[in-house]
Amino acid sequence: MSENTEMCKETEKTMGILAGKWKPVILFHLLYGGTKRFNELKRLIPTVTQKMLTNQLRELEQQDIIKRIVYAQVPPKVEYLMTDYGRSLQPLIEIMYEWGASHIKHMENKEKDLTVDEKSVTNSD
């Protein structure tokens, strides 16, 4: 964890995996929801477009985070699931989730502070 050695390429690498608007959401669903088909993910993430979903899934696949299984059958069927390696991201996703949750509260409290700063301070609700 040295500060000066060629800056922290490690955190950048991690960001390289997580960067991309939909990747954390995809990982979240695959981690906690298990194997999913393409359209299942699409339903779970209604605001994503096919293009972007495909895009992000491909990148995660190339990075060995998720696995893509194609079934050679007439109604195409493709499944996505976490690789063992991808599962190592779970603690990170979990921390991100928890930090995000507390961050949301933090911001809400800041709002309140601004709202009540003119009211009586004795009211400690």
Partner DNA sequence: CAGGATCCCACCTGATACTG
Partner DNA sequence: CAGTATCAGGTGGGATCCTG
Binding site for DNA (CB under 7 A): 19-22, 37-40, 47-52, 54-58, 68, 70, 75-79
Do residues 53 and 45 touch, judged by C-beta distance below 8 A?
A: yes
Residue 94 interacts with, from DNA, its own copies, none (CB under 5-8 Å by kind): its own copies
For the bound state, the minimum distance from the C-beta of residue 4 to its own copies, rounded and expressed in Å, comes to 8
**Cβ-based neighbours of 85, under 8 Å, separated by 6 or more:** 64, 65
The binding track of 34-73 with respect to its own copies, each residue x by CB under 8 A or -, is ----------xx------------------x---------
Which residue carries 């507390």 as its tokens? 102
3-state secondary structure of 41: helix
- Neighbouring residues of 42: CB distance < 8 A, sequence distance ≥ 6: 48, 50, 53
Contact between 91 and its own copies per CB under 8 A: yes
Can residue 96 be called a binding residue for its own copies (CB under 8 A)? yes
